[in-house]
């Protein structure tokens, strides 16, 4: 007997535990936990994630011994419920549901009422005394099995249902009579038979179960599941479990129903039951948004005893898991059954409030609260909202399914949404309701709007999980996919027109509506104060203006990690002076032009020093090549040609003289542009190389910095300037520039009779600099790794051009991530590590940080924390995210050390 056949592939719910998420999946582990706690859970078993992985390893064949264990699991369910699977007189029906270790709502497949055929449907009718119910269950099974297992498009079954519902008085599925249901079942079977070229739904219930389990395994590698995992960075290697569970029925009349609820509001975090239910329905009706459900509070009036029991169980589950729960339930003839509990998806605002409230409720500690909120959720809080004072046209109002404001062009097809977004367009996906097959379009869209569905519909849950704005159940929308338009009260909006979606209020506006920055509340402030208690990394900001500096400080920045002085040279007056300096003939003319720039630079530095009073400000000297400040070569050539044509048409001598002077001046400018033009400017005459060739530029910038520092310090404000020399590749380059900086500093402070506490350091952005950091450190007070350029020079990739193919590298797993978005730990990261270690071998207290885009990216921040950097620097609006990520990196590292010590 092989090792595979002896392996345990199937666990009864009572055999598992909540600690086995990786083996049983989140859903299976939750069902096991609830079963062991004595909650009302229909009996069932879990086919493990290991079986799924073995299925793929075995050429999509079940591993040896698995099916026999499934049959044994079925016998255990039969004994508990007193029914027999496939018995025509007393049939057991089961549901087959996916369940990965990480929640992936709606991304994989579910089949309900499995076990029905032409014989067992009659037995079910006699067993329950309700023919209509039995036929309704059968038509649901036929459509789900046809869609999930046999691959028939859902819309084909939906069209049949819509046609028959239109013939009823109420227009609802609950109004369908038994004879109509028989006709629907026959139509569904005919569709399947035609689509599958003569293949029908198996009549043998065991064969139904076998192919349904295989279909769930197959759905793990389906497009929507793969897309979801890519967005949420979940490994493909985990596999999905399969939950097989005795069916309980919410479609057995007025005292039956089904629902989905959260133990707290997933949009706001308010501590109150939040959810929806439908009477006389099955679970897919609520999640799919086919019928608009009732708020869970209404259940207290309709079935008060059931509501009381449910509220008690929901509270018990939350206290057990110490987190907000997302639960599914079914009521069968007044009896409550719990079908699922899992950690609830939530918005950024809800995540922060729930974490803070649970600390105050003594459910969790501060460290857990800090780890509970993801950086992506915190980012949502910083998104803009619709200006409440706008006078835009409100097209429709639906349910505020996922907060935030977003704008885009209307698109109705998820494939088209993805294609347009890939081309740079901003789109809003508008659908009757979304299904898991729409996921790739939802990822691409700025926002989602649906005409049907509730607060727990597929669109709502997925949008909240991704932090996208969503309005669901906007019933006023009359969507016409064929004409690619929707209409509301006579207003027609076609594909490509702009709309604005306010997911916080549920409003959909015509056109682009102004937005405003959000106001952060006390929960945010409290959570961030806890994060600051735990983190070791300091967090600075990249800021070039006094305004950006103040924004950064307001968000908790502990200094400026990168002030790009070249950004101060743009603007008509400044750019003219900069061009005059570049075009100057000789040092004297250059210095004269620089005299115009000095007071402008000094003024900027004064504002930044005032905003960052008492905090360090790292100022990078001029870095880009000079041609960036000059007109585009092609544009100059075109302007010169146009001027020559104008000269030929001119009839006035005075006009001709003026044009000749302008042409002469334009030619001189063109000559200078051609002279400065480089084939590879990013590796050319830039950074410290400019300062070495034109020391007067370094001198002017340094004088502006120290004059500003002296002025502000004279106002009683502490200043801490740090002058950073860019693009150093040898120690001698830094020595040359550092000597000049210190010389000018002595001159200026002597003139003002002051002492300024300052540092001189360098930006490590070339591999050679990292490898020779021990030599460079002799002349440096600090290192700041410019990881943008270091990534370019390490990979040999142009950041501007590689966007054309890097996405393909990530998609085909040639690279795990875009290295310009996530710091490459194996290459670029090792250079950062080596540079830090070698620099500190010479100066043990050398201050080291990073200031590239990676400074605000959570995984990159974790790497910086691991190798012992002092700080990260990022854009002002990512400062809170960096603060949180730095705290989580410290807590995660401490947790790993505790595990290693205990092992």
Catalytic residues: 458, 851
In whole angstroms, what is the distance from residue 698 CA to residue 728 CA?
A: 14
How far from chain centre, in Å, is Cα 900?
32
Identify whether the C-beta of residue 883 lies closer than 8 Å to the C-beta of residue 531.
yes
In whole angstroms, what is the distance from residue 858 CA to residue 371 CA?
A: 12
In whole angstroms, what is the distance from residue 566 CA to residue 628 CA?
A: 10
Identify whether the C-beta of residue 609 lies closer than 8 Å to the C-beta of residue 617.
yes
Identify whether the C-beta of residue 405 lies closer than 8 Å to the C-beta of residue 501.
yes
In whole angstroms, what is the distance from residue 549 CA to residue 618 CA?
A: 12
Beta sheet of 44-47, edge-to-edge order: 10-12, 44-47, 240-246, 94-100, 110-114
What are the DSSP calls for 787-799, one per residue? HHHHHHHHHT--T
Identify whether the C-beta of residue 316 lies closer than 8 Å to the C-beta of residue 288.
no
In whole angstroms, what is the distance from residue 663 CA to residue 651 CA?
A: 17
Which residues share a beta bridge with 240? 100
CA dist list (Å): 836 to 514, 538, 833, 889: 46, 16, 5, 19
Dihedral angle at the C-alpha atoms of 368, 373, 378, 380, nearest 10 degrees? -160
Q: Which H or E run includes 737?
A: helix 731-752
Identify whether the C-beta of residue 124 lies closer than 8 Å to the C-beta of residue 85.
no
Identify whether the C-beta of residue 157 lies closer than 8 Å to the C-beta of residue 140.
no
Residue 699 carries which DSSP code? Answer: H
What are the DSSP calls for 553-599, one per residue? HHTT--SEEEEEGGGGG-SHHHHHHHHHHHT-SSHHHHHHHHHHHHH
Token output for 213: 């389990």
Pairing of strands 491-494, 335-343: unpaired
How far from chain centre, in Å, is Cα 192?
38
Residue written as token pair 């004064």: 606
Token output for 313: 């169980």
Token output for 220: 């793990």
In whole angstroms, what is the distance from residue 533 CA to residue 894 CA?
A: 14
**Conformation bin of residue 788: beta by default, left when phi > 0, alpha when psi is -120 to 50:** alpha
Any idea what the Cα angle at residue 262 is, between residues 257 and 267, rounded to 5°? Answer: 125
Tell me which residue of 812, 737, 886, 903 sits closest to 378, measured CA to CA.
886
Q: Is the sign of the CA dihedral 588, 589, 590, 591 positive or negative? A: positive
In whole angstroms, what is the distance from residue 241 CA to residue 236 CA?
A: 13
Identify whether the C-beta of residue 869 lies closer than 8 Å to the C-beta of residue 850.
yes
CA dist list (Å): 247 to 141, 284, 330, 337: 12, 13, 10, 10
Any idea what the Cα angle at residue 774 is, between residues 788 and 820, rounded to 5°? Answer: 10
Beta sheet of 294-295, edge-to-edge order: 294-295, 274-279, 257-262, 325-332, 335-343
In whole angstroms, what is the distance from residue 37 CA to residue 729 CA?
A: 65
Token output for 793: 């020079």
**In three state form, how does the secondary structure of 855-871 look?**
HHCHHHHHHHHHCCCCE
């Amino acid at each position: 007997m092989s090792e595979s056949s002896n392996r345990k592939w199937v666990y009864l719910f009572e055999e598992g535990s909540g600690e086995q998420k990786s083996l049983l999946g989140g859903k299976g582990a939750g069902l096991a936990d609830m079963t062991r706690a004595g909650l009302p859970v229909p009996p069932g078993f879990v086919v493990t994630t290991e079986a799924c992985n073995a299925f793929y390893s075995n050429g999509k064949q079940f591993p040896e011994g698995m099916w026999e264990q499934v049959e044994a699991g079925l016998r255990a369910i039969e004994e508990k419920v007193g029914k027999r699977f496939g018995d025509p007189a007393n049939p057991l029906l089961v549901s087959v549901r996916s369940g990965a270790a990480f929640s992936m709502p709606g991304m994989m497949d579910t089949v309900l009422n499995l076990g029905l055929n032409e014989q067992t449907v009659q037995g079910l009718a006699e067993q329950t005394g309700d023919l209509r119910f039995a036929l309704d269950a059968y038509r649901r099974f036929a459509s789900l099995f046809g869609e999930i297992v046999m691959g028939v498009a859902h819309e084909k079954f939906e069209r049949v249902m819509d046609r028959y519902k239109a013939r009823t008085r109420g227009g609802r599925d609950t109004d369908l009579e038994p004879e109509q249901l028989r006709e629907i079942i026959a139509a569904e079977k005919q569709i399947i038979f035609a689509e599958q070229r003569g293949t029908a739904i198996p009549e043998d219930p065991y064969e139904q179960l076998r192919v349904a389990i295989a279909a769930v395994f197959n759905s793990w590698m389906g497009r929507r599941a793969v897309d979801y995992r890519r967005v949420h960075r979940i490994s493909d290697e985990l596999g999905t479990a399969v939950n097989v569970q005795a069916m309980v029925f919410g479609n057995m009349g007025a005292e039956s129903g089904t629902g989905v609820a959260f133990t707290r509001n997933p949009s706001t975090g308010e501590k109150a039951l939040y959810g929806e239910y439908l009477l006389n329905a099955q679970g897919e009706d609520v999640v799919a948004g086919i019928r608009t459900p009732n708020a869970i509070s209404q259940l207290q009036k309709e079935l008060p005893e059931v509501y009381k029991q449910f509220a008690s169980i929901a509270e018990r589950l939350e206290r057990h898991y110490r987190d907000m729960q997302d639960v599914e339930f079914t009521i069968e003839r007044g009896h409550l059954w719990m079908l699922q509990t899992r950690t609830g998806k939530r918005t950024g605002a809800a995540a922060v409030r729930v974490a803070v409230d649970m600390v105050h409720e003594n459910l969790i500690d501060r460290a857990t609260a800090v780890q509970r909120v993801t950086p992506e959720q915190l980012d949502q809080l910083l998104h803009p909202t619709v200006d409440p004072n706008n006078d835009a046209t409100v097209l429709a109002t639906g349910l505020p399914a996922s907060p935030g404001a977003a704008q885009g062009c209307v698109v109705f097809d998820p494939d088209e949404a993805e294609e347009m977004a890939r081309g740079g367009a901003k789109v809003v996906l508008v659908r009757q309701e979304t299904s898991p097959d729409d996921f790739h379009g939802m990822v691409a869209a700025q926002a989602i709007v649906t005409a049907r569905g509730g607060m727990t519909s597929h669109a709502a849950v997925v949008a909240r999980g991704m932090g996208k704005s969503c309005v669901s159940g906007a019933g006023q929308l009359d969507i016409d996919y064929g004409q690619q338009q929707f209409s509301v009260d006579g207003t027609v909006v076609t594909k490509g027109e702009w709309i604005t979606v306010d997911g916080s209020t549920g409003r959909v506006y015509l056109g682009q509506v102004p937005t405003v920055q959000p106001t952060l509340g006390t929960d945010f402030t409290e959570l961030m104060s806890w994060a600051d208690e735990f983190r070791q990394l300091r967090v600075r900001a990249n800021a070039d203006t006094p305004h950006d500096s103040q924004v950064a400080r307001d968000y908790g920045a502990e200094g400026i990690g990168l002030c790009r002085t070249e950004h101060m040279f743009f603007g008509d007056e400044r750019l003219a002076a900069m061009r005059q300096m570049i075009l100057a003939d000789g040092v004297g003319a250059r210095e004269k032009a620089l005299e115009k720039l000095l007071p402008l630079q000094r003024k900027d530095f004064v504002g930044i020093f005032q905003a960052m009073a008492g905090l360090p400000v790292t100022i990078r000297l001029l870095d880009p090549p000079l041609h960036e400040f000059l007109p585009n070569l092609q544009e100059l050539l075109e302007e010169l040609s146009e001027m020559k044509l104008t000269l030929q048409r001119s009839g006035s001598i005075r006009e001709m003289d003026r044009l000749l002077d302008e042409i002469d001046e334009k030619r001189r400018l063109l000559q200078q542009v051609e002279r400065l033009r480089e084939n590879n400017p990013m590796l050319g005459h830039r950074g410290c190389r400019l300062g070495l060739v034109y020391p007067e530029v370094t001198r002017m910038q340094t004088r502006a910095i120290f004059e500003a520092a002296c002025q502000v310090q004279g106002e009683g404000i502490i200043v801490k300037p740090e002058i950073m020399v860019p693009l150093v590749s040898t120690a001698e380059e830094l020595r040359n520039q550092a000597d000049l900086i210190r010389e000018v500093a002595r001159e200026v402070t002597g003139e003002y009779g002051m002492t300024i506490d300052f540092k001189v350091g360098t930006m490590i952005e070339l591999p050679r600099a990292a490898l020779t950091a021990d030599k460079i450190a002799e002349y440096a007070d600090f290192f700041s790794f410019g990881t943008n350029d270091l990534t370019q020079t390490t990979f040999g990739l142009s950041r501007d051009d590689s966007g054309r193919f890097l996405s393909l590298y990530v998609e085909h797993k040639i690279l795990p991530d875009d290295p310009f978005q996530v710091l490459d730990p194996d290459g670029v990261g090792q250079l950062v590590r080596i540079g830090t270690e070698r620099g500190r071998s010479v100066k043990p207290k050398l201050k080291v940080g990073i200031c590239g885009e990676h400074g605000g990216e959570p995984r990159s921040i974790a790497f910086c924390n691991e190798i012992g950097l002092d700080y990260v620097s990022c854009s002002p609006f990512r400062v809170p995210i960096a603060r949180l990520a730095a705290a989580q990196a410290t807590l995660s590292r401490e947790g790993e050390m505790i595990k290693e010590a205990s092992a």
